[in-house]
Structure 1
Amino acid sequence: MIWSTVALDLVGFGIVVPILGRYAERFGAGGVAVGLLFASFSLAQFVCAPLLGRLSDRIGRKPVLLLSLFGTAAASFLTGAANVLWLLFLARVLDGASGASVAVAQGAVTDMVEPEERPRALGLIGAAFGIGFIVGPALGGLASLGGPHVPFYVAGGLALLNALIAIRRVPETRPRSVRTERPPRDARANRLWGIALATFVAVCAFAGFEATFALLTKQRFGLKEGGVATVFIGIGLLLTVVQGAMVRPVTRALGSTRTLQTGLLLNGLGLLVLAVAESWAVLVPALALLTVGQGLVTPSLSLVVTGRVPDHQRGEALGFQQGISAVARVIGPVMAGVLFEHVAIPSPYLVGAGLCTVALVVMLGQPGGSRKHTLGAADVPVTN
């Protein structure tokens, strides 16, 4: 039930994101304003996701998940009803401030399963992203036939329905007996800052690819919007397969830290090949490397986070990671766009490969990162 809640939430997100920029243009927003509109969501999420994660550690996962879903519904309805630009900004800030559903859901599934089952559980949460970004844009495109405001009302309706179903169907996974007051901050920061840096640079690299891929394929392959959309659907499908079916066996064989390193290596190789791709025979393998790598990286980052903090800090730690990812999704596209336009076409992907290398080096310096190990050594979660 938690998986379906996340998937439906991400379908709503997939409805909003592709059309928000053009919708904002109706209110006089230029390129800078549209960029700030997207940034406002991510910055609000960066600030609030760790706070909501910490709150879920203290009062339980379910009430915070419901708060996030109702906040998303309100923000979507406000976006659809907006008639001035500042209301769009207010709606995006509200959506970002309440946007901790993924981190809270990750905390919930790790509450419910044994450590050796966490790769499968978090992989399925990751697969929900692929489904959301396949179904969401298609549903948003159909809804837009009814008018520019309709997709946002559809997204709001889905979020509201999701919340109402969750009230009845989603269980509380954090028993009252294990909830604690806010713990000291000492060990938490020491365990997470290296992983936070790896998260930031890895997400920057992939977000830069997402932002500039349409420009690359237009320049080198003459691909139009429909072709780009088809490629991204293929990427979404492959991500879903990797995260739903490959993460568990790979993690059982390598451990979460080594799986993360493998994903970062594949990401870097994929971006390097993409930088020189001028034929489909080179482009397709590059995208396959990059997609499989990202499919391993995303759940592995969460696995490593959950293995480095005590159980009573898990929600806050996952919220912190989600907030770091949100900021990286602002900076990565901006950086890649500047490099693409003002340096050279291959430069975003070469820099992205360098960022993946930085993340790989950081993770080699983490516990369990310099040797092959199985789940159970450095990957066994702290439970004190």
Structure 2
Amino acid sequence: MPRSHPTIVFTLFLVVFLDLVGFGMIIPVFPFYAERIGVSPSAVIFFIGLYSAGQLLGAPLWGSLSDRIGRRPVLLFTLVANTVSTWLLAYADTGLTLALSRVVAGLAAGNISTAYAYTTDITTDATRPKALGLLGAAFGMGFILGPALGGLLAGGTDENTASLTRVAHTAAILSLAALVLTALRLPESLPPEKRRQPHAPRLSPAVFLSRPALRGLLTATFVVISAVALMQSALALFSAERLGVGPRMLGWIYAFSGAVSVAVQAGVIGRLTARFGARRLAVTGVVLVAIGMAGIPPASTIPFLLISLAVFSIGSALFNPSISGLVAAAAQPHERGGVLGAYQAASSLGRVVGPVLGSGVASLAGLGAPFVLGAAICLGGLIFVARDTRQAKSETAAGS
């Protein structure tokens, strides 16, 4: 298969984009959906964390499996599971069925590690930052159109008049479209000779953590994503209580944040990486994320909130592709799925810990407290980003 073939890269972009639009549609309506079937407001953040708990289990599983059997079968199976889980959400009428739909969706979303591995399979060191930025832009665009579309489809100005089931049905249809596109347009990216052989020992996340450089990168990912998830899980409730916004306006707020992220990742991340290097961009991204989070609690108007979210989104757009590129560079082709699975597992663990921590802090100190704590935690990740990314590059060169 031609390496970094533009058509294949763009097709993968579309697959991830469609899947993420469906996911993004759920975000602004989920708190209202959960409360409508009897989940208390304080427990909503916990239910959001269930999705990441499933992703935590799925990411290393799918990444490692794709190293053995190839990327395409894993992508196809997980897209089927995601479609089913979203339809289950449409018919959820108890806390148990709601929780089941979120866990299954999270397990399926662990396929992001496989999508990242697919991207690294078809790119070179020179073209990889731009391709990873494009993949990140698919996430960002999913968060532009997804929440906005979800808010529009829900309709109404409050939770009592919104049609939340319609949103879940549409999200399932988009996941099904991503499945069809994968089946028809995405060839296998990992040839048999580059796969991990059946007799080779299983590479678990614990194996990668034994490598000092990867341990630092994965720890940095966990710390920063914990802080980000803590903020994201509290944003909907904060905006509703402090600013009085409903599902539709909240969708536009998320869309704005996604637009800023896309502008950075699709437009300039490749050139910035070539000029400044991934390590510097990762460090800068962490600082901007922390500043953006710290600016949210004082926000008393929507424009003030949008300014803080813009700073946050620029930082996130710099950090995510930079740290994932550094992790990918620290892996050999036959283990890249497993390494990126460990990276996604670290991200997912952060998305589990962050909402749980945010729920506790919000109940004790109010809805503004999670953002301040998140900024402080995020800055703690600077220690690992600045210290270990140079070592990752040197270890990779020594092992190749």
Q: Does TM-score exceed 0.5, indicating one fold?
A: yes
The equivalent of 1:224 in structure 2 is: 245
Farther off after superposition, 19-28 or 270-279: 270-279
Matches for 1:45-56 after TM superposition, within 5 Å: 45-56=55-66
Note closer, same or farther for the CA distance 1:139–1:179 as it changes in structure 2 (3 Å cut): same
Q: Work out whether 1:247 is the aligned partner of 2:263.
A: no
Residue 169 of structure 1, CA deviation: 0.3
Q: Percent identity?
A: 32
Where does residue 114 of structure 1 map in the other structure? 124
Give the TM-score of the pair, scaled to structure 1: 0.87
Question: In the alignment, what sits opposite 1:102?
Answer: 112
Q: Once the two structures are superposed, what CA deviation does each residue of 1:23-69 show, in whole Å capped at 9, x if it has no partner? A: 33444333465444333322121112101100011111111011111
Asked if the contact 1:122–1:303 (Cα under 8 Å) also holds between the matched residues in 2, the reply is yes
CA distance in 1, matches of 2:228, 2:48: 17
In 1, Cα distance between equivalents of 2:225 and 2:341: 15
Q: What is the aligned length? A: 377
Counterpart of 1:38 in structure 2 is 48
In 2, Cα distance between the equivalents of 1:41 and 1:223? 26
**Structure 2: distance between partners of 1:270 and 1:296:** 13
Contact between 2:63 and 2:111, CA under 8 Å: does it hold in 1? no
Q: Is the 8 A contact 1:311 1:382 kept in 2?
A: no
Match of 1:73 in 2: 83
**Residue 199 in 1 paired to residue 221 in 2?**
yes
Q: 2:388 is matched by which residue type in structure 1?
A: Q
* CA 1:252–1:176: 2 relative to 1, 3 Å: same
Pick closer, same or farther for the CA change 1:122–1:378 going to 2, 3 Å: farther
Find the partner of 1:154 among 154, 165, 170.
170
> Is the 2:119–2:131 contact (alpha carbons within 8 Å) kept by the matching residues of 1?
yes
Question: Aligned to 1:265, which of 264, 270, 287?
Answer: 287
For 1:326 and 1:138, the matched residues in 2 are separated by 24
Q: Which moved more, 1:282-291 or 1:96-105?
A: 282-291
- Which residue, 345, 358, 362 being the options, matches 1:336? 358
Deviation at 1:141, TM superposition (A): 3.5
Quote how far apart the aligned CAs of 1:14 are.
1.2
Alpha-carbon contact 1:178-1:312 (below 8 Å) kept: yes
Distance change in 2, residues 1:241/1:183 (3 Å)? farther
d(CA) in 2 for partners of 1:184 and 1:357?
A: 34
Give the letter for the 1:270 counterpart.
G
1:162-214, CA deviations, whole angstroms, 9 ceiling, x for partnerless residues?
A: 21221110121111111113446486222432222211221122222323345
When residues 96 and 232 of structure 1 are mapped into structure 2, their CA distance, relative to the original with a 3 A threshold, is closer
Distance 1:82 1:215 in 2: 21
The match for 2:208 is 188
Q: What displacement does 1:319 show?
A: 1.8
The answer for the alignment partner of 2:332 in structure 1 is 310
Amino acid at match of 1:101: N
2:99 to 89, 92, 98: 89
Alignment of 1:167 onto 2:191: no
Distance (Å, rounded) in 2 between the aligned partners of 1:321 and 1:112: 19
1:13 counterpart letter in structure 2: F
* Larger mean Cα displacement after TM superposition, 163-172 or 286-295: 286-295
Match of 2:231 among 209, 217, 234: 209
Residues in 1 aligned to 2:90 and 2:239: alpha-carbon distance in whole angstroms: 32
Following TM superposition, by how much is the alpha carbon of 1:300 offset from its aligned partner in structure 2, in angstroms? 1.2
Q: Which residue of 306, 319, 335 maps to 1:297?
A: 319
**Paired residue for 1:179?**
195
Cα distance in structure 1, aligned partners of 2:34 and 2:300: 35
Q: What is the CA distance between 1:112 and its match in structure 2? A: 0.4
Distance in 2, Cα, partners of 1:171 & 1:152: 29
CA contact (8 A) 1:115 1:380 kept: no
Q: What displacement does 1:255 show? A: 1.7
1:59 paired residue number:
69
Residue range with higher mean Cα deviation, 87-96 or 248-257 = 87-96
RMSD between superposed Cα atoms in Å:
3.0
Tell me if the contact between 1:8 and 1:159 (Cα under 8 Å) persists in the aligned partners: yes
Partners of 1:12 and 1:156 within 8 A in 2: yes
Aligned-pair CA distance for 1:120: 0.7
Q: Which moved more, 1:73-82 or 1:300-309?
A: 73-82
- Structure 1: 5+ residue runs without aligned partners? 370-375
**What is the deviation of 1:89?**
2.5
